[in-house]
Amino acid sequence: MFNGLYAVLYRELTIYRKRAVKQMLSSSLSPLLFLIAFGWGFGRDVTVSGLPYIAFLIPGLITMNSLNQSFAISAEINISRFYFHTFDEYLIAPVSHAGIVIGEAVFGVFRGLLATLIIFIYAFIFNVSLSFNPLFFAAILLHTFIFSFLAVTTSMVVKDHSGQALVNNFVITPMIFLCGTFYPIDKLPYAFKLLVYVFPLTYSTKVIRAALTGGEVSFIYVGLMMFYCIIFFLTSLWALRSAEA
């Protein structure tokens, strides 16, 4: 399994190295605009859940930006599948399905962690004080693995780029705006509260925000993150086997 994992990861990192600057700049623009529009727009006098709004916003931007970058591997996998038939080569090579899936997911985690680093740089520039709970590091790894495995699953299931766009429009975008990234979930109508507690981003945001702002980290939420991680790993294996068939 490890040979396959290394081969997949080496290929992805080699390609990424050639366009790293462009992708880093691209991933840094959106959160910067949110920080300027909301962070400076609301100012430091506005508080949310007992925190200055900008301190509340930073963990949400971490989950949003790392999600976007981890899940973005789905588009690249689709290009590899549809145009270069890279996955056909993977599947005829003597490597395991688990090695392929984990190799792609680790690359997604790598991109998600780089996106997280960008937000920390912004937090320093905007002079936002954060308190680090050691659980943050486990939480951000779980979070990025969740959406990397989800990316592998969806990229194996969809048949074309329009199918991938539907996933982005009806799953990823609603999660970003409804799961507590920009405002507390308790402000939502009851029907939407039921919906957001189905989405894994809700638990990622709660855990990561608590770990960075001195709140109490819920181990129930951490357990749910682990549950989603396992489920999406299994679905990605299933989807890869289905694509092979």
- Cβ pair 105, 77 in contact under 8 A: no
Residues 118-175: tens digit of each pLDDT: 999 999 998 888 888 889 999 999 999 999 999 999 999 988 878 888 899 999 999 9
Directed axis angle between helix 219-244 and helix 200-213, to 10°? 140
Q: Which residues contact 60 (CB under 8 A, 6 or more apart)?
A: 180, 181, 182, 205, 209
pTM: 0.93
Residues 165-215: tens digit of each pLDDT: 889 999 999 999 999 999 899 878 888 888 899 999 999 999 999 999 999
